[in-house]
Amino acid sequence: MENTITLKQFLVQSQREGQDQIDTDLIELLDNIMSACKKIADGVKHGALYGVLGSAGSENVQGETQKKLDVMSNEVFIAATQWGGQLAGMASEEEEDVYSIPAQYPRGKYLMYFDPLDGSSNIDVNITVGSIFSITRCPEGVSDPKLADYLIPGTEQVCAGFCLYGPSTMLVMTTGNGVNGFTLDPGTGEFVLTHLNMTIPEDTKEFAINMSNQRFWEAPVQRYVDECLAGKTGPRDKDFNMRWVASMVAEVYRILTRGGIFMYPKDNKDPSKAGKLRLMYEANPMSFIVEQAGGMSSTGRERIMEIQPEAIHQRVPVILGSKNEVERVVSYHKD
Ligand code: AHM
Ligand code: MG
């Protein structure tokens, strides 16, 4: 245990080494995010013992049924971070409007966007879920940010991360200088550096997509998946493997570990929706992490992090992972 480096130590050391993005406020904010993640991990682990499984009997702004753990995780995230004085405001998948920091707390310079419990359709079936967060600077001179102040492109992110509630609890994050993974030690309650400088292999033989939507996809994605399925007998001349966990956090973690491509592409299932996943608290943070690990992230037509957001709950197509495969899908969109 002597040589272990905790997440907090790692951040302080990185600050001392002059990493521009890291300041004391960010370290304190991340410390509070860690507290939130530990509480949520505890709730997820205890499941039925805490009576937290099942539906909360309400819907969020996206019209999705909220699970009890969705609601609880959202409350935990807000309670753990709003008091610290580092945030000017926050936006959550589970909140219709942006969340103003209550008047009794000081306001800080950062904005936080988060999905308190991603993959929540998996809660009741005991499969990995996670929390995703993204941090940007609040626009200069703004102390009481309004909706428009939050519409900042992903390229401006100062930090992004996710916490995975799986067989082990892991926090993976970037501050724009590579990606590192920390495993929660259940004995000490500390996140310990276990995965230094995670990188995504450029090539892969594994793809992840919800095949039940196949008939709704556009031609470039149809072509890409057809070619993967053809395996050795097709133009790719190699067999592919497929995975679909229905938890983006678990898919991105797998890709960070052994490569792969993840797609929730544009489809015509519901023409009013540009995709399923949300730009501000799913696509942007995951894109930042994937790019920092040497991968690529695109809608098929543009780099996700360069999208100028138009709404806080905006949806976008997402194609991310091993660079050469994502490039291939993007090239099919150009053809
Ligand atoms: P959520 O934030 O409501 O959980 O939705 C996002 C999740 C992603 O984690 C996952 O990739 C996707 O939805 C799965 O969708 P589907 O059930 O359509 O396969
Ligand atoms: Mg989500």
Q: Which CATH number fits domain 7-195: 3.30.540.10, 3.40.800.10, 2.30.31.20, 3.40.50.720?
A: 3.30.540.10
CA of 308 to the centre of ligand 1 (A): 23
CATH 3.40.190.80 fits 206-334, yes or no: yes
> Which residue, by CA, sits nearest to atom 7 of ligand 1?
119
Closest CA to 211 of 264, 132, 172: 264
Q: Kindly report, residue by residue over 268-296, the tens digit of the pLDDT.
A: 988 888 899 999 999 999 999 999 999 99
Q: What is the pLDDT of residues 196-248, one digit of tens each?
A: 999 999 999 999 999 999 999 999 999 999 999 999 999 999 999 999 999 99
Ligand 1: atom nearest CA of 250 is 9
What pLDDT, on the 0 to 100 scale, is given for residue 163?
98
CB-CB contact of 319 with 260 (8 Å): no
The CA distance from 72 to 68, in Å, is: 6
The pLDDT of residue 2: 61
> CB-based contacts of 150: which residues, under 8 Å, 6+ apart?
89, 91, 98, 111, 113, 280, 309, 312
Return residue ranges of the chain for CATH 3.40.190.80. Answer: 206-334
pLDDT above 80: residue 112: yes
Residue ID of nearest Cα to ligand 1 atom 4: 119
Q: How many Å from the N-terminal Cα to the C-terminal Cα in the chain?
A: 54
What is the rounded CA–CA span in Å between residue 86 and residue 142?
A: 14
> From the CA of 3, how far away is ligand 2's center (Å)?
35
Distance 292 CA to ligand 2 centre (A): 21
For residue 24, pLDDT beyond 70: yes
Assign 63 a pLDDT band (cuts: 50, 70, 90). Answer: confident
The better pLDDT of the pair 297, 70 is held by: 297
Ligand 1 proximity of 190 Cβ (cutoff 6 Å):
no
Q: Is 70 in the pocket of ligand 1 (CB under 6 A)?
A: no
CA–centroid distance, 23 to ligand 1, in Å, is 33
| Domain span(s) for CATH 3.30.540.10 in the chain | 7-195
Q: Is the shortest distance between the CB of 247 and ligand 1 below 6 Å? A: yes
Cα 62 to averaged position of ligand 1 atoms, centre (Å): 12
pLDDT at residue 34 above 90?
yes
The Cα–Cα gap between 215 and 188 comes to 49
Beta carbon of 130 within 6 Å of any ligand 1 atom: no
Predicted pLDDT at 188: 95
Mean pLDDT of 9-25: 93
Which pair of structure tokens corresponds to residue 335? 């053809």
The pLDDT confidence band at residue 19, using thresholds 50, 70 and 90, is confident
Locate all alpha helices (DSSP H) within the chain, ordered by sequence. 7-16, 24-46, 68-81, 219-230, 248-258, 284-292, 323-334
